[in-house]
Amino acid sequence: MAASEDYLAELNDAQRAAATFGIGGAAVPMPVPPLLIIAGAGSGKTKTLTHRVAHLILNGADPRRILLMTFARRMAADMTRRVERICAHALAGQSWLPGDAIAWSGTFHAIGARLLRQHAESIGLSPSFSILDRADAEDLLDWVRDELGFSATRQRFPKKSTCLAIYSYVINAQSTVREALLRSFPWCAEWEDALTRLFAAYVEAKQAQHVLDYDDLLLYWAKMMAVPELAPLVASRFDHVLVDEYQDTNPLQASILLGLKPDGTGLTVVGDDAQSIYAFRAATVRNILDFPSHFDPPAAIFKLEQNYRSTEPILAACNRVIGHAAEGYAKTLFSTGRRGGKPVLAQVPDEARQVALVVAGVLENREAGMALREQAVLMRAAHHSSQLEIELTRRNIPFVKFGGLKFLEAAHIKDVLAILRWAENPRDQVAAFRVLKLMPGVGPAVARRAFAVVDGGGLAALAAFRAPAAARDAWDTLARLMPELAESTAWTGEIERVRRWYDPILELRYDSVRTRLHDLDQLDNIARSHASRTAFLTDLALDPPQACGGEAGPPLKDDDWLNLSTIHSAKGQEWDAVYVLNVVDGCIPSDLATGSPEEIEEERRLLYVAMTRAREALTLVQPLKFFVRGQTPGGDRHIYAPRSRFLPDADLAVFDVVAAQTTRTPYDAPPTTAPKVDLQAAMRQMWKV
């Protein structure tokens, strides 16, 4: 199709070279060799990737045969919209999309779910399989654990969340149970044989109920790509495969990509080895480091080093920190014309002074015109901000901490979804047990007997089951509702029908009823944007909303808040001013992550990721001592902590080193004498007539 190349003008030379590499101008593109784009922090990675996809389409590639994968559905949707805008602009409004635009765009798990449904019957799956979210997978694993008698062991068996974490690591890292235990769960090593039995029984339970968990979406896809009769069929669907954030992939995901494109033709991956920080999820930096060598000839490598986010002094400090990495793609981030002050290394006497320094700095920035929401405080572990949160609350400074209760973790949301999931898949035991136990008088034993009846006779058999007297009315209504939902072909209004049965139960079981009902209204609104119950349940399992309860809904017009976040949760974000807490050995790097050179290198990358979030101002805070917890008030037992090993003396020249002597915060002051008041007597007096 005829198109001007003006759409490439907004790219710098490095971005343009990466976006156009290997793409010819013929009507039918020549085979495109494998490509690795190393995109430094803030270097325009998304812009480059979207322009490459657009360049493919504008040079003859069929958008229906392009697979674009990233790690968040919203990011995939945004990238698709960008590609469409670039193409429309290049063609000056001509019609250019043959059919659907970028029909295959999404997360690994979402694409996997879609492919598995299409090929379900070929691989022994039911096309109507349910997808368990993490909490439901834990519940099923716990049920199997109890069936095997592991909950009654003389020694404490790992809890259900730990069991699922081990299982997930085994699957995604493509390791044995023993390897996973030794590498990441050494405290559970004595349970190797029992865990192996548990996981085998868990797989059988999932298969019997026609359910897949989150990890199965990748595992079944990978297994499908290892079947000689199926792999070419799946691979032939895509001419071009492009993957964002490749440094965050695990061995299972890498095996899927190599199955799709064994010789690398049409394969492009984008990422930054210096930002690989998710080993606890089985992600491995080896994927991006070893990518070129998988192909013959090796994949081409392009680097993006011009940073559009941070000032030159901040970049100079970031380059020093990552420059000491033992292995990686050498790169030097630079900015053109963005000047500013050096990042600050603030050395404070203790944690209380650290809090005082951060609060004073945040408020000073606010008075100078920088909104609270443009500032962030980052920490290696969530509990590192506990004292800061107390002081922010005392000073009435609003803040949001990343990692609170997720929408789908709320009990009332899970209840409604369980009803829909059971209607979708009558053999889903986890959903069935949750629904049945909502009714008064129904415990595990009754639920187990009722499910056995349904398993043998379908949902209609609920009507014939003799329910406990306390549950009779609710049971009769449910017995009519469930077969209707299962047989319904009209998705519109299903949640409303469910709520006619469920809302009275909610009012009896839970507090904060108004807030919970508002959440269910929000769930209904989300449902309206989906064409079917299957699509709705799949999307919620793969990409759930984040807000819940009081956090749901739009903020007030005058709302402003400070951002608190772990470094892991901050990846992909940026703020004008960033404070990093506890930049000392024992915190960064964590004393729990120094068992191997690989762990230490990932800790270095964590500090690098934290520093590269800052646009205008960066402050690293180093408390010189930490008081021992649990001592009597006024005690002075403490330990000293050295500066992080990632900031050697030779690199201090790129920082403004400040010895901050701030005053103690009021909550840290020694106790004062106060009169004695019998508050308990006062409380009793309140209830006397």
Residue pLDDT, tens place only, 58-73: 888 899 999 999 988 8
Scanning 91-225, the segments in alpha helix (DSSP H) are 108-118, 134-147, 160-173, 177-184, 192-209, 214-224
Tallying the residues shown for the chain, one arrives at 689
Determine the residue type at 229: E
451 has a pLDDT exceeding 70 = yes
Q: What does the alpha-carbon distance between residue 132 and residue 241 come to, in Å, rounded to a whole number?
A: 27
Predicted pLDDT of residue 603: 96
Q: What is the mean pLDDT of residues 590-600?
A: 86
Instruction: Give the model's confidence band at 670: pLDDT under 50 very low, under 70 low, under 90 confident, else very high.
Output: very low
CB 577, CB 613: distance < 8 Å: no
Render pLDDT for 507-548 as a digit per residue (tens, 0 to 9). Answer: 888 766 777 887 788 788 778 878 899 988 888 887 666 544
Q: Which of these ranges, 70-79, 127-136, 656-665, has the smallest mean pLDDT? A: 656-665
Three-class SS of residue 623? strand
H-helix or E-strand containing 132? Answer: strand 130-132
Residue 57: name the closest of 234, 240, 268, 261 by CA: 240
Quickly count: other Cβ atoms within 10 Å of residue 437's Cβ: 17
State the pTM of this model: 0.81
Higher per-residue confidence, 667 vs 370: 370
Q: What does the alpha-carbon distance between residue 613 and residue 314 come to, in Å, rounded to a whole number?
A: 10
Instruction: Give the model's confidence band at 207: pLDDT under 50 very low, under 70 low, under 90 confident, else very high.
Output: very high
Q: What is the mean pLDDT of residues 449-453?
A: 92
Average pLDDT, the chain: 87
Scanning 225-283, the segments in alpha helix (DSSP H) are 231-235, 251-260
Both structure tokens of 683:
């409380």
Q: What does the alpha-carbon distance between residue 290 and residue 249 come to, in Å, rounded to a whole number?
A: 12
Q: What does the alpha-carbon distance between residue 414 and residue 435 come to, in Å, rounded to a whole number?
A: 10
Both structure tokens of 523:
């769930």
Both structure tokens of 77:
């949707």
Predicted pLDDT of residue 149: 86
Predicted pLDDT of residue 661: 64
Q: Give the Å distances, CA to CA, from 489 to 66, 492, 629.
A: 32, 9, 60
Predicted pLDDT of residue 236: 93
Render pLDDT for 375-400 as a digit per residue (tens, 0 to 9). Answer: 999 999 877 887 888 788 888 898 88
426 has a pLDDT exceeding 90 = yes
Predicted pLDDT of residue 94: 65
Both structure tokens of 302:
């392009």
CB 560, CB 373: distance < 8 Å: yes
Q: What does the alpha-carbon distance between residue 498 and residue 483 come to, in Å, rounded to a whole number?
A: 12
553 has a pLDDT exceeding 50 = no
Q: What is the mean pLDDT of residues 561-568?
A: 92
**3-state SS string for 386-406:** HHHHHHHHHCCCCEEECCCCC
CB 380, CB 566: distance < 8 Å: yes
Render pLDDT for 434-443 as a digit per residue (tens, 0 to 9). Answer: 999 999 989 8
Predicted pLDDT of residue 544: 65
CB 277, CB 568: distance < 8 Å: yes
Predicted pLDDT of residue 372: 95
CB 85, CB 54: distance < 8 Å: no
Q: What is the mean pLDDT of residues 275-304?
A: 95
Q: What does the alpha-carbon distance between residue 259 and residue 474 come to, in Å, rounded to a whole number?
A: 51
